[in-house]
Amino acid sequence: MNDMNELKEAIKAAQSYDDVIIICNTVDVPALTTTMARKLLRVLRKYRVDEPKLEAEQNSTGSVRIAYLGNITFEPLPDYVEIIAACRGLTTSAYIGGYDQYVQELIDDHSALNAFAADIVFINLSLRELAPELVSNFSYLSLDQINATKEMILAKTVNTVSLALDKQQATVLISNFPCPAHFHLGIADQKQEVGESAFYADLNLEMKKRFRDESRVQVFDMEQLVSNYGKNNAYDEKLYYLAKVPWQEDFYLSIADQLVRHIAAASGQAKKCLVLDLDNTLWGGVLGESGIHGVKVGHGDGEAEAFYDFQCKIRALKNRGILLGICSKNNLADVEEMFAQRTDMPLRLEDFSALEVSWDMKHEGLSRIADKLNIGFDSLVFVDDNPAECELIRQMLPQVDTLLLPNDPSVYSALLDAFYGFDKAQVTSEDQLKTKQYAEGADRVKHQAGFKDLESYLESLQTEITISLVGEQEKMRVHQLFSKTNQFNVTTRRYSMAEVEEFMIKDNCDMYTVQASDRFGDLGIIGLCLLENTDQSAAFIDSFILSCRAMGRGIETAMVNFIKEEYFGRRGMSRLSALFVPTNKNVPAQQFYPDQGFEAVGDDSDEGCRYELLADNSSILSCHWIKINDRNDL
């Protein structure tokens, strides 16, 4: 929805908070205006206030808490973040720090900021306040003064971020510094040994270097955002002089949208699979009509080059760890021949982890893709140029995000860039191997067909696992497992990166990862277990997670055998306790604890079922087909 009159009518018809959320979900965010956003925000807050129970629930569990700190006036940014977050399926609450009071508020353990317990801390430091001499008199400064000022800015920025990390269990977003729209020396700036353009480029590059290895820090690229919007249009000098409000109001929508992208990325909410149509989507024209060499993709023709660039953009998403799929009404043999002969295309058939090419209805094809990849519909994004096909998916599979392509292929790449569901805070080695791992999984399925009994098949896989305490190299993957694993996740608790780091250093907690490999390749880190030592004689299994691609081969039993040997054997404990919290998605883990010898000791309707295993009743269960490698770091 991007029409003001249509939005007004929808708002008039809304009768509840849920109605408003449905409206938000239909809004085309890139087309959202400040007027539309304000109208939506008013009605959203109206119904939230009218439903106190809903308000209490959101404040306690469902709301992403954002603290805004810096030396500028942030209003109205939090308002726009709230409404864009609602359009993206998120609820936010805000703490707005006092003007230039960020250090005092962070240091004071009893401040309202620290009581707020933010999930996200957004820090924006304006150089006009932080280094006014640099901004006002750059051309009069000596090289030594310029370098000293740069070091001062970096030190102030690093110290502020370090203080936020120390005081807050939050992801910290630190804004970099936009280069001025106009230089003191005009076009002669490029001839200076250190001109303003070079200074800001070096400053922002050094910021990235300083925070690259900080897992809880993301650099908010305000420089790129301002450049994309237009530097002459983004600033509001009059409001800055009056109230230290730096930006034009329309630009706040761009800042808010980028902030919500960071929030979603920090929460691990990236989609898992991009599913694409073929004709007039991956290439121009219809393969069955134009033929292999008649469809447009490649060089020498404007339309063909647009589709070529679109395929490059898709291939880049694959390198980000996004699986690719095809769902197309076509002849499979024609499609296979197309990829075999058109070697000038960036995408190859092996880049796709799932292929549904037939004349079946596309919602059936998407269902088979979800089954093959063992992921939920809410992990899929479907892209097609046909409005009828997109509407069918919206009606039949509303959990799938659907992207309708317009007639102009020159905008296709930009549409993918604008889609928020593919953002990740960091791309890990696990992400970049994702397609290869799914291809190896398909080989395992083919291999299984040659066996009549499960145990012989499992023995033939030659599975090896390594169980290790979590280290710095593994913590990002651990956060991903907490954030995204649903099926074999006994509680589906979503721990933040800050909480992961805290578990790593707590004396009474042990957090293990499980890395697996077999005859077909390396599965990577596919499981984790978090235990808390409640006392000297007992431990509580807080979390137990196994990736869907490792289910069904007994790895979970090998993990529990390790826990029994470690806690009952080496540590001499007498009891293990655990909790299973049922959800709509974790049915595969429902019998996990009983299968491992645990007994149910209570059923709490609010929390779930509690289990217990006594050392005297414990036994090592057979999973002899799995080899456990030495754990040198335990």
Compute the residue count for the chain. Answer: 634
The domain in which residue 251 lies consists of 51-266
Inside any domain, residue 633 = no
CB-count exposure of residue 99 (10 Å: 0-12, 13-18, 19+): middle
| Whether residue 155 is found in the same domain as residue 215 | yes
Answer whether residue 61 shows pLDDT above 50.
no
pTM for the full model? 0.82
Across the range 579-592, mean pLDDT stands at: 91
Same domain, 454 and 560: yes
pLDDT tens, residue by residue, 181-198: 999 999 999 999 899 999
Containing 253, the helix (H) or strand (E) segment is helix 249-266
Give residue-wise pLDDT tens across range 226-256.
999 999 999 999 999 999 999 999 999 999 9
Task: Give the CATH number for residue 516.
Answer: 3.40.630.30
Q: CB–CB of 47/55 below 8 Å?
A: no
Classify strands 538-546 and 521-535 as parallel, antiparallel or unpaired.
antiparallel
Decide: helix, strand or coil at residue 151. helix
- pLDDT, position 55: 46
C-alpha triplet 479, 418, 197: angle, nearest 5°: 90
Q: Note whether 220 and 311 are same-domain residues.
A: no
CA–CA separation, 350 and 463 (whole Å): 25
Q: What is the pLDDT of residues 96-111, one digit of tens each?
A: 999 999 999 999 999 9
In a domain, 634, yes or no: no
Based on the fold, state whether residues 191 and 219 are members of the same structural domain.
yes
CA 287 – CA 301 distance, rounded (Å): 18
Strands 171-175 and 120-124: parallel
In a domain, 620, yes or no: yes
Q: Is the pLDDT of residue 428 over 90?
A: no
pLDDT the model gives residue 10: 85
For every residue of 49-77, DSSP letters joined together read: HH-HHHHHHIIIIIEEEEEEEESS--TTH
pLDDT for position 630: 64
Of 266, 291, 318, which residue constitutes the final position of a domain? 266
Interval 47-70 mean pLDDT: 67
Predicted confidence band of residue 15 (pLDDT cuts 50, 70, 90): confident
CA torsion sign, 152 to 153 to 157 to 158? negative
Residue predicted with more confidence, 23 or 503: 503
pLDDT reported for residue 634 = 44
The number of CA neighbours under 13 Å toward the Cβ of 223 is 18
Q: What is the pLDDT of residue 620?
A: 94
Instruction: Report which DSSP code applies to 566.
Output: I
User: What is the per-residue pLDDT for 83?
Assistant: 93
In a domain, 292, yes or no: yes
Give percent above pLDDT 70 in the chain.
96
What are phi and psi for residue 70, nearest 5 degrees? Answer: 160, -165
**Would you state the pLDDT for residue 389?**
95
Inside any domain, residue 171: yes
Query: Which residues are 120's β-sheet partners?
Result: 66, 171
- 239 and 290 share one domain: no
Residue 147 lies in a domain: yes
* Residue where one domain finishes, among candidates 370, 396, 422: 422
- List pLDDT tens digits, range 474-501: 998 999 899 888 889 999 898 988 899 9
CA 525-527-530 angle, to 5 degrees, is 125
- Phi and psi dihedrals of 530, rounded to 5? -115, 120
Average pLDDT score over the chain: 90
- Exposed (0-12), middle (13-18) or buried (19+): which is 351, by Cβ within 10 Å? middle
589, 487 contact by CB (below 8 A):
yes
Give 389-407 pLDDT, tens digit per residue: 999 999 999 999 999 999 9
Do 218 and 363 sit in the same domain of this protein? no
Does residue 380 sit in the same domain as residue 453?
A: no
Q: Are residues 89 and 118 in the same domain?
A: yes
Say how far apart CA 592 and CA 556 lie, in whole Å: 8
* Sign of the C-alpha dihedral computed for residues 96, 101, 102 and 108 taken in this order: negative
What is the Cα–Cα distance from 272 to 54, expressed in whole angstroms?
Answer: 30
Say if residue 122's pLDDT is above 80: yes
Confidence at 205, pLDDT banded by 50, 70, 90: very high
Q: Which one of 203, 237, 266 terminates a domain? A: 266
* % of the chain residues with pLDDT over 90: 69
- How many Cβ atoms from other residues are within 10 Å of residue 566's Cβ? 18
Q: Please report whether residue 320 resides in a domain.
A: yes
Residue 120 or residue 50, greater confidence: 120
Task: Confirm whether 454 is domain-assigned.
Answer: yes
Asked if residue 198 and residue 143 are part of one domain, the reply reads: yes
If pLDDT is split at 50, 70 and 90, which confidence band does 57 have? very low
Coil/strand/helix, residue 120: strand
User: Which amino acid belongs to residue 540?
Assistant: F
Confidence of residue 414 (pLDDT cuts 50, 70, 90): very high
Domain count, the chain: 4
CATH at residue 330 = 3.40.50.1000
Neighbour count for residue 294 (Cβ, 10 Å): 12
Q: Give yes or no for a contact between 368 and 361, defined as CB atoms under 8 angstroms apart.
A: no
> Quick one: pLDDT at residue 521?
87
Residues 218 and 288 reside in one and the same domain: no
Residue 2's pLDDT is 62
pLDDT for res 59 = 44
From residue 362, alpha-carbon distances to 28, 357, 384, 389 in Å are 24, 9, 10, 7
Q: What is the mean pLDDT of residues 405-423?
A: 92
Q: Do 81 and 131 fall into the same domain?
A: yes
Say yes or no: 623 and 596 in one domain: yes
